[in-house]
Structure 1
Amino acid sequence: MSRTPDQPRLTPQFCFNQTALRDFLRVSRGATDDTISQNLNALVTPGAKPFDPSITTARQPRPIGRRAIDAESCNQFKEKVLFPSWQSRSDVLSYCAGVATSPDPEDPDHVLRQVEDVRARERVVDERLDPYSARYFPRDTRTEALAGLLRNERMVETIIRSRTWGLVGERCDNEGVEADVALDAWRKRQEGAS
């Protein structure tokens, strides 16, 4: 099984560094969710059951690659690998969402945007000569750009978790529980343990 990355130190600088933020999310997803089939296959102990020659006489209803995994291994995987990875990404996304909705007094482009706004207001526009001269698209602030990135990443996270939980459900018993409900139950167990 691949090792999930450690959660980065949460600071506004980390959030505004979109490359670092995306890299953490990508590596974390790659370690657990993107390789979920391999991680689940690693839970199956080959040779756990002795070879039975009678199984070769009849067609097997379930392909060998989709063998059910014993409940204890599944629960250990969910408790120790899957849910902590999801929680780590949730923590990063929630923290950065807070940063994106807070005022940003240290925005390095603040003065530049103000100058561009003043120039745009002072510009004389004759739309008969150039119908496109009135166009002005102000640049997004750092917090607006971060908020847009987080919206996209949350949608990606929802899709990835749904796919991962479906694959886990094929091999392990999810008891018909949705991924978010299972993660919330895990969180409560973690709070109770600490």
Structure 2
Amino acid sequence: MRRNQARREALVDATIEVLAREGARGLTFRAVDAEAGVPVGTASNYFANRDDLLTQAGQRIHLRLGPEPSEIDEIMRAPRDRALVHRLMRDIVRRLSDGRSNYLALLELRLEATRRPELQATLTETLKANLAQNIDFHLAAGLPGDRDTVLLLYLAMTGLVVEHLTLPEVLAPFPLDDVIGTLVDRVTPAASGRTVAKAATDPE
């Protein structure tokens, strides 16, 4: 059977929405068909089984979590200093809050990956590649800090986002923007004069 790529992607997107709303236990072909608004039996024509659905969702979810290039271009017009790192971290929280279902689905996929070797391999490859891209971006942009700075920001922000999107009342006594600012100040070194001077001459 000839399959439509756009429909396949729509079914994977529907899988991600079902995971976020119903959890892995609620993921069925029928639920995916209903979420995608397609006839019953459509998903089973595109995917072999639930494992296949989960693996495809693991491969696609990073595309839904990522920023629009135009948004990053706008943010990166600022000097490369701690304030810019703070702004980038705030943007991550805003984006993940706006697309909450994507991150909740990712949490479901992480849990399922502990029981499904193929999904674990797929998700590990995806997240490792994302972390490597984040490190490369940070260093190439001349932002303050090094590889370890990015790793620590990644680990700290992962915990913050999980708390914020699942049990927000835990952090209620602590203003979110202040927490991000403290995190960035503790992890990110002050920009050197050389770095700031370089940023000022970077072409926009």
TM-score over 0.5 for the pair: no
Decide which structure has greater helix share.
2
The normalised TM-score by structure 1 is 0.44
